[in-house]
């Protein structure tokens, strides 16, 4: 930190003592256990980088390794062969990451052999017969304008032994994995198997999650593009609702465990009357329940717009309503279709109350996730990929790159998959949503908002 | 911070000792004095919030006050009258800030009297005769879809005494100023005059700068919208250059002192061959100078695309080339038109070398700054405005709200206008630009890049 | 026509006699009965306007009345009270028509009382209790930027007697109806009832059909916006298909009886491998059937993209597959969900052939129909509305305005609802689609393309 | 025409005799000589196709040859070698035309050798040394998403003898020229020289003009994309004007001789207060002159927005104001910069009247002309190109394809360059502009609107 910092006055003036209880005080009570709780004396450190010498004095403060190029590296570029694989669902920006990996490896480090494996982890397994694609600066030029992934993708795991066999057989030194939490767990197992075989092969991930639910990231790449695109559906849903008597529109957005896309899209477009997210349970029936409040809204405003994350309301499904059962064969909870449930319940409720209903249901998931990255995500993907290349060339492995509090960092995969980033029901983001929608803080009794650990960007 | 943090493993594995000198090492040497220099042992603190008790133990670590609602506030909402004014050039998102200020004041705090002053600080001065606009939740509904500011704006200062007279006369308790550094200096003087008169009137700013040059902000509002819009001009300029023999396109973008828009837009679109910014001086002539490298690019590629921030190359103007003289009447340096100089020099140089030239010049400034905020900036403006309302109701004054390392903070105006955020020529952002354009790190001899203090988001 | 036309040489030169049979000749055979059939000597009249004197000489040539302002009008503007109603499904541009009706009536004719009836024909019926909206130049300013209709809409007919009672009670002189073919039939019955009561009330329609299926129109308003918006879904569907092994995407677009949106969107985006429209029946099974050709496409290309108009394949539903039965209570054919049938058949077929399938289904209808008009439709709606005002003020009734061969014309409602505009399977448009997709002219045996009368723009 | 037409009732009902003089009657007087003049009895022919037999009976009615595939063609596809060249300024859609030419020639006709000449007519001249590009269905896939022309372009003519030498040397049978009126005149001379040499080489043009000024076209390709893009600048200019005291924005749009882009863009966006076009002269000074009316607008509305076609006001330049003189070396009139003149005059006038002025000047030409074709133009370009291929294969030469009254037609080049399509000051389009802007029909005395011949789409 520059020594001149000592001269800087960081103190804000206050007009005088505060004696008026805030109208927000009741809400603030609920924040006590949250990292959003701001106590009077709280301060944000101006500089959060600590060098090794400083760290000794600070004892136990948790910290992450800083990303960036190192003066000495582990791999000899002229002898390095690199593999890239993309796994899981689509997300805006994957091609930008591929392009920037290839460009940085080639231009700045002089790596000349870069291979793309096709269709996720299937690409390593001989029986699928997928070809391997040579990637050059020329062949990846222009791919950023396309959505999706030029390498193809697939879900699910493959035999780890066969994957490492393939890496060894092809002489791969570094494997870049662009994928979600499942794929990162796969990458971790690959790195562990490499470790067991004691091979000098690095495994570096670029975490991909359109839901923004990977912890230790300010925001995941593609997230801004995704919620921006989602605002189009919200705008359309508003127009539909407003243009018909008893118009109720329901927009289902991505978000199995985390309601970030729903929150940001609703805040950005400012048309939603209700936002339903997994982190804030609600009740359909009873006084103050969703249906009662919805009816009141339609009566007063003439129409209503509901934005629901796909993971919202999972606790409301009865066994009878759960398509395919509440749990799957392995006993895992099955994600139920909250869109269908909302349509059923709203239709039945309005009929029971003799109210005209024109219900429109919009699920734009495929259209959202397949658009090209917007300019912001385009830059972000490029810089993430550059950080990943620096880390990999320096010999880091079993890690992902991320951006935490605006600093590019290295995160052990184990840490990145240890929990989820979720919307804090006691945080500023959710409060801004409540303010923008005008929906009550609680829809129905007995619904208890979740506790969110402080591991994620809001 | 949650106590369970102790159990988390933040360590990244490394494959082995690093012995290979990095091809990037020469570039890294230049980073030694920059906050972008990452030493081997550097760590990023996981949590940068410090409570008052913790702070005592840390001694001198500079920090900023955290933003957010307080349990006790200074102003009684039912008796509070609020003024809002917008000053300086246009920037995407101003109307979003106005809307969110009005909405938060009304909905969450119950403030009922909010007035908009017209056309910047002119609005306080009787002789201009501008009317005052009552702002309500209804009247600001829908304004976010418009660009510009519904209140109008103007540049320049007005008599501070008359401004404070007006605030007193109208019984204003809180004045929100949305404006750039000049306007913030004005707000500071207003707060000081209020202090001299010992009146309980708060002055809280929302800093506006399309150039992203205000320090202590991750990014200023509207910046993402602006550079995203700028990519359209870059795309067009590329098409023009590519479609004519000897095609050279020059795009001039905003950025008087800081090249952020030029850098981000060029990175996002990835079509530029040269990016010229104020922070990195260059020479036209001589070996390795801009014109020689440009000619080589047109010879090899058939065309070239130059993106220049308006503040680039100011040191290159001779007195003869400076329109209106190098300095103005007050002796201040006058911003010269680098676009005109580039056109003159390129035209003369290509003619001197007998090369065909089809030069296209694009200056999209007005079109960029007047678009509505994109969804990201829309959310960001809303949250900034909410933070400003919390600060003002809690009695803070002579300050602006900001977002630093993803945390909303309070910044004394004095601090916010004390320096500028600039692109660090030794930082990752500029390196990514060099990598994307392929332009040499230095264009001509003797051009020394500036030293950038560590006060801004990159 | 200008007399100087006589000097103009309209003759095109030919290099010499043609002796080579065209590869397209077999296709051309099928055009014999179509208005797309071009015989060697065919000519397009340069000017298609005929004055009354000329017409006598031409005998029986069918023609339409030209639209435009007249020197004498029927209604005294100062005493004229106007009603506007919007009926049926949403379509881009309705608000533009409303705005331009109000603006032209007010500015050019000086009409001062214009009323909007809410929610379609419901708005005339007392028991619904909908309010009537006063429309002024000020109140309609800015509505064109919104999608949908500010007046609200509803489907279905109301009691004609009550509608005319309402018009009489309110002293309405002119009723503008913006609606589809069902609404136009309603407007016709209203005009007839007015005729029976011998009241001087004009009924003038602006025909609305997102499907572009109203005859005697070059294109219906909103159609260009709609198919342009549909290209976004096609692009996304292509990305999805391309990014997964065995990727097959199905996009269902509007078009109950006419495949125009499917054809234009597929041509504009040029990504579709199959376009299925109501006018060209197909078979699922058998040699050359859809499923066989689809499998071949996925085998050769790796993926496939199917665009289907909602009215395609209606003849393929068995009674068992028809949801709610093939016919409704009144014995009318029920529109079956071809999207569901395609998903079922493709899934079963790929499973039966042991092929991996990643099926994505996209139905963007609500998002398409609710967007604001694009600039072209914005202009077109304005000009249509101006033509409607001129017609109504001149005393025309029981008619709609249209644009036929680029000329604004008056069309009796009876004529406008007498048939449908459909894609001609022997016309240039469909041929261009076949060329762009590469799909065979016939998918399966026994499927006979329909005969299309020559009443519509292609 | 189908025989069943006889049963169709094309008659529109009228409520009764018209006795009220229309408020528009004075304006209508001026229409007498225009093809927009609609007399009471005027009719639009339903079908404007005439077969040779019918034509005999009709005597002198001018007509154009219908486009479309013929049963017999002139060239043997297996032996046909095709050239494509693009000339003149950029226009959205050129790449779509190239793609569709290649696709139709290859897929439907089986032509296998297609060559692209680089950088306009330069591409035929050996001394420029431009390479020739082989065009295949694969190489043109995806080019429609790019703006500009992949072949490059240049202005100006080359030696006709050398061009035809090149065609002969390379064995070209068909040359497609995509270019404006200058390029079409070049194509005509090429065809004539080929005629003199008596070679079987066809020359077929696809007329390109962003100004929409080529006659016998409903609209030229790219025009819709262009005016749609121009609405963005108008929206920005409105925001700028509205956001500053004394805000006056001037937008200069393309249109050297014809104000179509200015008219359509202004109508579509509906924000302009003044539209200045070449067809409607105006005066700056004097009562009712532009400056007086502008001042009145700024006084009443607070700001004003002026949209000017680049060819507007050419008659207002004095010799002193004309940059480079009013005429060039060859004595041709030089196009003067009306944007500069407007800025000078407005600035001087507001200063002289002591009015505050914040003038913004926007010239978006390069950004407009370089965007990719929108979906409509994408389809239109495809269909135009298909028509061009059919014509060329059938042996037509010295002609261009066009769309007249929605029918694809063949137009002799001589006819296509014989006049210009211009906005008719007495037509509906201009009237709609007057209605939308509220500007007076005449700005200043002595300014006489031009007479427009009836050769173009409005």
Residue B381 lies in a domain: yes
Q: Is D165 assigned a ligand-binding role in the annotation?
A: no
**What is the C-alpha separation between C153 and C51, in angstroms, rounded?**
40
Mean pLDDT of C251-258: 96
**Residue C14 pLDDT:** 72
With a CB cutoff of 8 Å and minimum separation 6, the contacts of C142 are none
**Residue D374 pLDDT:** 97
Q: Is D181 assigned a ligand-binding role in the annotation?
A: yes
Residue C294 lies in a domain: yes
Q: What is the dihedral of CA B101, B106, B109, B113, to 10 degrees?
A: 90
Please check whether residues C158 and C214 belong to one and the same domain. Answer: yes
pLDDT in tens, D57-71: 545 567 788 888 888
Please check whether residues C432 and C292 belong to one and the same domain. Answer: yes
Q: What is the DSSP string of A205-258?
A: EEE--TT---TT-SS-TTHHHHHHHHHHHHHHHHHHHHTSTTEEEEEEES-SS-
Please check whether residues B155 and B191 belong to one and the same domain. Answer: yes
pLDDT in tens, C396-408: 999 999 998 888 8
**Residue C62 pLDDT:** 74
Residue A2 lies in a domain: no
Mean pLDDT of B203-215: 95
Q: What is the layout of strands, in order, in the sheet containing A132-134?
A: A49-50, B43-45, A63-66, A407-412, A399-404, A202-207, A174-179, A81-86, A113-117, A132-134
ipTM of the complex: 0.90
Question: Which of the four pLDDT bands, split at 50, 70 and 90, describes residue C47?
Answer: low
**Residue A37 pLDDT:** 54
**Residue B5 pLDDT:** 46
**Joined tokens for residue A35:** 């990292």
Which of B12, B228, B412 is facing A396, going by the closest CB pair? B12
Please check whether residues B387 and B406 belong to one and the same domain. Answer: yes
C-alpha count within 13 angstroms, C-beta hemisphere, residue D61: 26
Q: Which residue has the higher pLDDT, B313 or D452?
A: B313
Catalytic, D211? Answer yes
Partners of residue D399 in chain C, C-beta under 8 Å = 12-13
Residue that has been written with the tokens 């799909």 in this structure: C439
**Residue C449 pLDDT:** 65
**Joined tokens for residue C282:** 């197909």
Mean pLDDT of D419-435: 88
**What is the C-alpha separation between C91 and A168, in angstroms, rounded?**
59
Nearest CA distance, C377 vs chain D (angstrom): 8
> CA-nearest residue of chain D to C406?
D405
Contact C366 A242 (CB under 8 A): no
pLDDT at B300 over 70: yes
Residue that has been written with the tokens 């200058």 in this structure: D182
Please check whether residues B184 and B290 belong to one and the same domain. Answer: no
**Residue A94 pLDDT:** 98
Show the 3-state SS of chain C. Answer: CCHHHHHCCCCCEECCCCCEECCCHHHHHCCCCCCCCCCCCCEEECCCEECHHHHHHHCCCCEEEECCCCCEECCCHHHCEEEEEECCCCCCCHHHHHHHHHHHHHHHHCCCEEEEECCHHHHHCHHHCCCEEECCCCCCCCHHHCCCCCCCCCCCCCCHHHHHHHHHHHCCCEEEEEECHHHHHHHHHHHHHHHHHCCCCEEEEEECCCCCCCCCCCCCCCHHHHHHHHHHHHHHHHHHHHCCCCEEEEEEECCCCCCHHHHHHHHHHCCCCEEECCCCCCCCCCCCCHHHHHHHHHHHHCEEEEEEECCCCHHHCCCCCCCCCCECCCCCECCCCHHHHHHHHHHHHHHHCCCCCEEEEECCHHHHHCCCCCHHHHHHHHHHHHHHHHHHHCCEECEEEEEECCEEEEEEHHHHCCCCCCCCCCCHHHHHHHHHHCCCCCCCCCCCCCCCCCCCCC
**Residue D404 pLDDT:** 87
Please say whether the beta carbons of D22 and C70 come within 8 A: yes
**Joined tokens for residue A443:** 């829809």
Nearest CA distance, C196 vs chain D (angstrom): 12
**What is the C-alpha separation between D52 and C38, in angstroms, rounded?**
11
Cα radius of gyration (chain B): 25
C316-337 burial by CB neighbour count: b if 16+ within 10 A, else e? Answer: bbeeeebeeeeeeeeeeeeebe
Of D250, D283, D276, D292, whose CA–CA distance to D443 is shortest?
D283
State the helix-helix crossing angle for D94-104 and D375-393, rounded to 10 degrees.
Answer: 40
**Residue A126 pLDDT:** 95
Please check whether residues A243 and A354 belong to one and the same domain. Answer: yes
pLDDT at B396 over 90: yes
| CATH number for position D360 | 3.40.50.460
**What is the C-alpha separation between C85 and C123, in angstroms, rounded?**
8
Please check whether residues A341 and A395 belong to one and the same domain. Answer: no
**What is the C-alpha separation between D420 and D417, in angstroms, rounded?**
7
**Residue B66 pLDDT:** 85
Nearest CA distance, D62 vs chain C (angstrom): 5
Q: Which chain A residues in 294-333 lie under 8 Å from chain B, judged by CB atoms? A: none
DSSP state of B144: G
**Residue B41 pLDDT:** 63
Question: Which of the four pLDDT bands, split at 50, 70 and 90, describes residue C425?
Answer: confident
pLDDT at A404 over 70: yes
**What is the C-alpha separation between B252 and B340, in angstroms, rounded?**
10
Q: Which chain C residues in 1-60 lie under 8 Å from chain D, judged by CB atoms? A: 1-2, 4-6, 8-25, 27-28, 35-36, 38-52, 55, 58, 60
> CA-nearest residue of chain D to C432?
D383
**Joined tokens for residue B416:** 């916010």
pLDDT at A2 over 50: no
**Residue D412 pLDDT:** 92
A193-198, Cβ contacts within 8 angstroms, sequence gap of 24 or more: A193/A160, A193/A161, A193/A163, A193/A164, A194/A164, A194/A167, A194/A397, A195/A398, A197/A164, A197/A168
Please check whether residues D246 and D349 belong to one and the same domain. Answer: yes
Q: How far is CA A296 from the centre of its chain?
A: 34
Question: Which of the four pLDDT bands, split at 50, 70 and 90, describes residue A198?
Answer: very high
Contact A147 C236 (CB under 8 A): yes
pLDDT in tens, B161-181: 999 999 999 999 999 999 999
**What is the C-alpha separation between C238 and C273, in angstroms, rounded?**
10
Question: Which of the four pLDDT bands, split at 50, 70 and 90, describes residue D454?
Answer: low
Q: Is D403 assigned a ligand-binding role in the annotation?
A: no
Please check whether residues C320 and C288 belong to one and the same domain. Answer: yes
Residue C299 lies in a domain: yes
Please check whether residues D393 and D358 belong to one and the same domain. Answer: no
Other Cβ atoms less than 10 A from the Cβ of B406: the count is 18
pLDDT in tens, A137-164: 999 998 999 999 999 999 888 999 999 9
Which of B240, B362, B364 is facing D148, going by the closest CB pair? B240
Please check whether residues C110 and C178 belong to one and the same domain. Answer: yes
Structural domains of chain C, count: 2
Q: Which residue has the higher pLDDT, B122 or B1?
A: B122
Question: Which of the four pLDDT bands, split at 50, 70 and 90, describes residue B142?
Answer: confident
Mean pLDDT of C206-234: 95
The overall average pLDDT reported for chain A is 89
The number of residues in chain A equals 458
**Residue D94 pLDDT:** 98
Q: Which of the residues D119, D243, D269, D372 would you substitute to probe the B interface, choosing the one with the greatest number of B C-beta atoms within 10 Å?
A: D243
Please say whether the beta carbons of B155 and B87 come within 8 A: yes
Q: Is D433 helix (H, G, I), strand (E, B) or coil?
A: helix
Question: Which of the four pLDDT bands, split at 50, 70 and 90, describes residue B6?
Answer: very low
DSSP state of B13: E
Residue B163 lies in a domain: yes
Residue among D48, D131, D211, D271 flagged as catalytic: D211
Show the 3-state SS of D255-276. Answer: CCCCCHHHHHHHHHHCCCCEEE
Which of D45, D383, D415 is facing C61, going by the closest CB pair? D45
Residue C15 lies in a domain: no
Residue A24 lies in a domain: no
The overall average pLDDT reported for chain C is 89
Residue C30 lies in a domain: no
Question: Which of the four pLDDT bands, split at 50, 70 and 90, describes residue A58?
Answer: very low
Domain range for A334 is 231-369+423-437
Which of A2, A17, A74 is facing B20, going by the closest CB pair? A74
Question: Which of the four pLDDT bands, split at 50, 70 and 90, describes residue A453?
Answer: low
| CATH number for position B173 | 3.40.50.450
pLDDT above 70 covers what percent of chain C? 89
Please check whether residues C206 and C119 belong to one and the same domain. Answer: yes
């Amino acid at each position: 930190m520059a020594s001149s910092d000592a001269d800087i006055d960081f103190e804000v003036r206050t007009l005088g003592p505060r004696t008026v209880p805030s109208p927000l005080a009741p809400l603030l009570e609920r924040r006590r256990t949250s990292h959003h709780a701001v106590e009077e004396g709280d301060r944000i450190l101006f500089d959060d980088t600590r060098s090794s010498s400083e760290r000794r004095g600070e004892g136990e403060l948790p910290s992450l390794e800083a990303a960036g190029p190192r003066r000495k590296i582990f791999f000899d570029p002229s002898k390095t062969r690199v593999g890239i694989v993309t796994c899981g669902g689509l997300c805006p920006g994957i091609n930008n990451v591929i392009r920037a990996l290839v460009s940085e490896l080639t231009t700045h480090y002089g790596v000349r052999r870069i291979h793309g494996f096709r269709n996720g982890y299937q690409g390593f397994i001989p029986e699928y017969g997928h070809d391997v694609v040579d990637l050059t600066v020329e062949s990846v030029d222009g791919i950023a304008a396309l959505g999706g992934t030029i390498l193809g993708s697939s879900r699910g795991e493959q035999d780890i032994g066969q994957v490492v066999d393939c890496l060894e057989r092809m002489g791969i030194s570094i494997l870049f994995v662009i994928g979600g939490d499942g794929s990162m767990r796969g990458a971790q197992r690959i790195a562990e198997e490499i470790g067991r075989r004691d091979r000098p092969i690095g495994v570096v991930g670029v975490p991909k999650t359109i839901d923004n639910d990977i912890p230790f990231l300010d925001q995941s790449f593609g997230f801004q593009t995704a919620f921006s695109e989602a605002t189009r559906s919200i705008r359309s849903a508003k127009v539909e609702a407003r243009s018909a008597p008893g118009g109720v529109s329901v927009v289902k957005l991505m978000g199995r465990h985390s309601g970030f896309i729903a929150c940001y899209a609703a805040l950005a477009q400012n048309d939603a009357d209700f936002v339903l997210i997994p982190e804030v349970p609600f009740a359909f029936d009873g006084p103050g329940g969703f249906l009662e409040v919805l009816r009141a809204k339609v009566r007063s405003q003439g129409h209503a717009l509901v934005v629901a994350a796909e993971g919202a309301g999972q606790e409301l499904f009865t066994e009878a309503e759960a398509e395919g059962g509440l749990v799957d064969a392995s006993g895992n909870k099955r994600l139920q279709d909250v869109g269908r449930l909302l349509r059923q319940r709203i239709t039945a409720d309005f009929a029971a109350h003799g109210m005209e209903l024109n219900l429109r249901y919009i699920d734009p998931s495929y259209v959202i996730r397949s658009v090209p990255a917007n300019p912001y995500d385009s830059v972000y993907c490029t810089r993430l990929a550059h950080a990943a290349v620096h880390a990999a060339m320096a010999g880091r492995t079993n890690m992902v790159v991320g951006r935490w509090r605006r600093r590019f960092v290295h995160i052990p995969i184990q840490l990145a998959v240890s929990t989820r980033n979720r919307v804090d029901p006691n945080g500023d983001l959710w409060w801004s949503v409540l303010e923008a929608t005008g929906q009550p803080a609680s829809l129905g009794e007995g619904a208890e908002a979740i506790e969110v650990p402080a591991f994620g960007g809001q």
